[in-house]
Amino acid sequence: MKNIRNWVFRTVAVVFILYSISPGWAADRTWSNRGTDNGTVHSLGNGNMLVYETGPEITTIYPGPYTTPSLYKLLVEEDRSVMVNSHREPGTAIWTHSMRRDGEVLGLMTDFVDADLPCMVRHFDLEKGMRFRLELIPGLQILQTDTEEGGRLLLRMDPGERIYQYYVYPRPLYHQISWIGKVTIEASEDPDVIYFHIQPGETDLFLVGGPEYDEVITHAEAAFEKGYSGLLERTRKWWESFTSDRHDFEVLFPANLPERDKLLRTIDEVSVMIRTQQSESGAVMAGYPYPLGYVRDQYGVSRGYLALGYYEEAKNILRFYHDIWEKTGELHCAQGIGVDGIFHIHENDDVESPGYLIMQAFDLLEKTGDQEFIISIFPMLEWCWKVQKRHLIGNMLPFNGDETYVAGGILPRSALNDGSAEATMLFIDGGEKLLDWIENQGLWNREKIESERSLLTSVRNDFRSNFWLDGQLITNNPTRTTLDEMPRFRHGVCERGGPDCLVYRKSAIGGFGGIDWTQQDENGRYQCMNCLAMGALPLADKRIYKLLTVSLTPLYFQSGLITPKELKPAVEEINKSFQKTGVLTSRTASETIGDNQRSVGYDYGLVLFSMLKTGTGGSEDVYLKTLEIVDEIGAWSEYYLGDTPSGTRCRPWESAINLEALIEFGLLHQKIFMND
């Protein structure tokens, strides 16, 4: 009987592997506990629970809501060589891992987060036993209970556990790991490590969130009652419904589109990846290290959703911000997701982010024509316009402290009070759309409309003199800091940073400095209270930067401030460098700060989009390059060193921008082909 079972199991495994590498499936994601993994990360989620995996390993789990501490890791603990091929079922976030140990079949493992419950299900069908290591965050309280069917670990985290930097979860957080099948657990010398031994046969593991105790218990009972097969069936149906709402690109793309099958697969992969990271409240996570809703990131995600046909999902992002604004009367760089009162406050949060929200609202209106929705969020949009105005100096707005180039070390933090071409552009372009709409809706009186238009016209008229130099859009204008007194205090990152900065040492996570109050020293540099005692930092170099990425943003925003003809030379310069080096980046050697060679991860899509808008030749090469660097699960990275991912993987913002450009190329391919 055992031999028959083994033969059946091996046959099923072989059929699965052959089927999973067929064109309908995502590309293989191969993982091994030997050597160095490439770091590709995929996500599973339903809006209530979010899990990130690296191959078969659970590396981050937000048990619900999304802004909670990640409680543990569940890692493969094997002395011998383990090789795993991971596959995603098309149109879903259901993953199956085919596992081998020393070349012999171990078995299959299926992972998904249930459609309804905050519950991740892991189903084992093993021919041989496996060992896993559960690494708990310090301070997690554990209650173990065994039953005839299996067992559970009930977990409790006291309030005040840090989520990210200084931000903490304010209530007791409950979670449960339950199982049905043959599982033995073993304690270790480390109180925060538990070993799981999964025996041969079928076993179901349920990772259940609440967040309250009563919810954990009832959710676990509901999961047990429905069972693995029932949960899997309804989750498939949920994903099928989501996927069916997408534009039919099989019909929309021409048959002769290069890499057509790969683009269609990538569209499915990115759609699912973003949806798993979108919470029930509407916000989309910025990635596994950042369990918050970032305004800027979700602008790009919204654009991607609109290009895919997911209008309701895009609308839900704005609902998230409107709900928070209604409760608090404020918005910042990032907000807690499902947890009230958490704000990630950076320098100059009243600029850039509010501009993105206005643009996002009218992008949605253009696609849907839903006037009633825009009217419902109008008080927030009115606030977004108002808060930007008080930062105008010389008709320029400063940089937000979490601006992509600053956060990535591409633009120095000492330039934050300079005039920002991008923030000012958002103010002008978003403001024009908002004021036109307000006038058409009759929401303001004539006197107020004329007053606001006069201000907007003044800022628009000065834009070129402030940001257009020698035929190129400059990134920053240091003149702004000389026209008025700069703020004495601001909330953000200490400019000293590094190991000498106490705030940095206390708050650094993954290399990021802490966020706290800073104060100007005698040289106008902003330091935390601890670093001020060390003396003033040197005067900042008042340098003008010409980041080519910024030169492309008018084309991405479809701004009327600079014409495509005027921007075409910058696009051609990027393409010329790409054709020569094979590396696509919007940065030049002269823009490098120290040894930082990183470029932003959405450069690929931004360049491709700009080539299409300016009619620059060679766009097919950039299209193919953008598709070439997508990783095995169909995502782009936060940054790149050359073509090598750097920073956070599985990123919604960069992936959405790049995918929108690829879709644009696909829809225009026939016309481009004829012109070439």
Predicted pLDDT at 263: 97
Predicted pLDDT at 107: 97
Q: Quick check: 672 pLDDT over 80?
A: no
Same-domain pairing of 542 and 571: no
pLDDT tens digits for 60-102? 999 999 999 999 999 999 999 999 999 999 999 999 999 999 9
Same-domain pairing of 530 and 630: no
Same-domain pairing of 526 and 589: no
Same-domain pairing of 579 and 530: no
Given 512, 546, 580, which residue is the final one in a domain?
Answer: 546
Same-domain pairing of 123 and 212: yes
Average pLDDT in the 191-197 region?
Answer: 94
Same-domain pairing of 522 and 556: no
In a domain, 70, yes or no: yes
Predicted pLDDT at 513: 56
pLDDT more than 90, % of the chain: 79
In a domain, 498, yes or no: yes
In a domain, 286, yes or no: no
- Name the CA radius of gyration of the chain, rounded: 26
Query: When comparing pLDDT for 561 and 516, which is higher?
Result: 561
Given 492, 516, 546, which residue is the final one in a domain?
Answer: 546
Same-domain pairing of 438 and 530: yes
Strands 639-641, 644-646: pairing is antiparallel
Predicted pLDDT at 402: 86
Same-domain pairing of 171 and 306: no
Domain ranges, residue 61: 2-244
Query: For the whole model, what pTM was predicted?
Result: 0.93
Predicted pLDDT at 22: 39
In a domain, 285, yes or no: no
Same-domain pairing of 41 and 88: yes
In a domain, 556, yes or no: yes
Structure tokens, 310: 């997911």
The Cα angle at residue 500 between residues 496 and 502, in degrees rounded to 5: 90
3-class SS of residue 120? strand
Nearest to 256 by CA among 675, 671, 571: 671
DSSP state of 498: G
d(CA 302, CA 461): 30
pLDDT tens digits for 644-659? 998 999 999 999 999 9
Which residue matches tokens 């001020």?
Answer: 532
- How far is CA 459 from each of CA 137, 392, 487, rounded to the nearest angstrom? 51, 9, 21
Same-domain pairing of 520 and 609: no
pLDDT tens digits for 351-408? 999 999 999 999 999 999 999 999 999 999 999 999 999 999 999 999 999 877 787 7
pLDDT tens digits for 418-450? 999 999 999 999 999 999 999 999 999 999 999
Nearest to 632 by CA among 97, 28, 20: 28
Predicted pLDDT at 255: 94
For the chain, the domain total comes to 3
* Per-residue burial over 59-85, b = 16 or more CB atoms within 10 Å of its CB, e = otherwise: bbbbbbbbbbbbbbbbbbbbeeebbbb
> Among 44-53, 181-190, 460-469, 578-587, whose mean pLDDT is lowest?
578-587
pLDDT tens digits for 265-298? 999 999 999 999 999 999 999 999 999 999 999 9
In a domain, 157, yes or no: yes
In a domain, 289, yes or no: no
Same-domain pairing of 90 and 127: yes
pLDDT tens digits for 478-508? 999 999 999 999 999 999 887 778 776 665 4
Same-domain pairing of 197 and 261: no
Q: What CATH number does residue 90 fall under? A: 2.70.98.50
In a domain, 393, yes or no: yes
